[in-house]
Homo-oligomer: A and B are copies of this chain.
Amino acid sequence: MTERRRDPLTGEWRMFARHRQDRTFLPPEDHCPLCPTRPGGPPTEIPLADFDVVVFENRFPSLVAEPPSPDVAGSELYPVTPSVGANEVVVYSADHTLGLADMDAARVARLVAVWADRYAELGGRDEVAYVFIFENRGVAVGVTLHHPHGQIYAYPEIPPRPRLELDVAAAHLVRHGTCVVCDVVGRERADDVRVVARNRSFLAFVPFAARFPYEVHLVSQRHAASLLDLTDPERLALAELLQAVVAGYDHLFGFPLPYVMSMHQAPTDDGQHQAISHLHLELTPLHRSADRLKFLAGSELGAGAFVNDTAPEDTAGQLRAAMARAGIFTGAAG
């Protein structure tokens, strides 16, 4: 069973993939499927002795290029469609323990180039409307493999959250004649108090209305709709700032902070979205303190209304202080 069903109460499409229940779950390190295949060792997903960055199709996908027919018949009230699209795995390096914060910046820049390449290739497919690059890091966010890696979902329509952001940005453009994310960047630069780190091309800040205590948005300072609009120096700047923020997370409480990284870019359907799409990465760690998680419960899951027990101005300061202690260059005055 691999199919998509639309919820009649919200209009949201959801993905069903029963075979994913059997996916590999936290295997021991010597059976890591994302490590290189060692001579004489068991075969892994990657039949190479060494590699830089590797992308392959997820073995337990919820979206595939040639999906089977749905198990159930759809109707107008309960629409059902094949799970067309793609799920890819992006392995950051051959090293089982080398995370984003510890790589050299040139390697992270190559990862950014790979992301841009996959965005272009997947987005160029007729059946793909939205390419979503993300990373789940840490057991607390449900990671089933420790080897540093990210994922790419290529959806056949614009999914709910990017859809909402585009609608809000379109209304803002009509009303003010500007890109709302550009306006946010200007305001964060002016206020400065929520800025965590900055360089010539990107700005990292705890958003004014953050959902999570240590949420950080990493935003292109000039209007760029996707990774494809970045110059090589801008891609390097993105790599450097992403690395600085993740290193800051690792130093905040003295352990690698579990997080979800979500990259929002322009849809790749036929629509004209350039003016209302502004590349940004949303990093959402789940911790609200060293020993407490922020759980999504009644207000968040049932009402969609987030409660944040911290002030973004405070948590931005804590992140800056952690980065200063670790000697990470942030360019932020605070």
Contacts and interface: CB of A to CB of B under 8 A. Distances in A.
A135 B78 contact: no
Contact of A184 (B9, B14, B132, B210): B9
A142 interface: yes
A298 interface: yes
Contacts of A21: 288-289, 309-310
Nearest to A134: B298
A138 to B, nearest CB: 10
Contact of A141 (B15, B142, B297): B297
Bin chain A's interface residue count. Answer: 35 or more
A18 B315 CA distance: 11
B160 A304 contact: yes
A302 to B, nearest CB: 3
**Residue in A72, A172, A181, A307 whose Cβ sees the most chain B Cβ within 10 Å:** A307
B161 A302 contact: yes
Query: How many copies of the chain does the oligomer comprise?
Result: 2
Contact of A305 (B155, B210, B311, B314): B155
Contacts of A288: 21
A141 B162 CA distance: 26
Contacts of A261: 298, 302
Interface string A128-141: 00101011100001
Contacts of A263: 302
Nearest to A10: B164
A315 B308 CA distance: 33
B78 A208 contact: yes
B207 A298 contact: no
A282 B303 contact: no
A11 interface: yes
A309 B10 contact: no
Given A180-B9, A208-B78, A14 B308 contact: yes
A178 to B, nearest CB: 10
B153 A299 contact: yes
**Residue in A75, A161, A208 whose Cβ sees the most chain B Cβ within 10 Å:** A208
Nearest to A78: B208
A15 B161 contact: no
A8 B132 contact: no
Contact of A296 (B1, B7, B8, B296): B296
18 contacts: A6-B209, A7-B207, A8-B209, A10-B168, A12-B304, A14-B210, A14-B211, A14-B305, A21-B288, A77-B183, A143-B297, A159-B304, A160-B304, A161-B303, A162-B304, A261-B302, A263-B302, A284-B302
Given A8-B168, A15-B306, 13 more contacts: A5-B209, A7-B208, A11-B168, A14-B211, A16-B308, A17-B309, A132-B299, A132-B303, A142-B295, A164-B304, A260-B302, A261-B302, A282-B302
Interface of A: 1, 5-18, 20-21, 25, 62, 71-72, 75, 77-78, 130, 132, 134-136, 141-143, 151, 153, 155, 159-165, 168-169, 172, 180-181, 183-184, 187, 207-211, 260-264, 282, 284, 288-289, 292-299, 301-311, 313-314
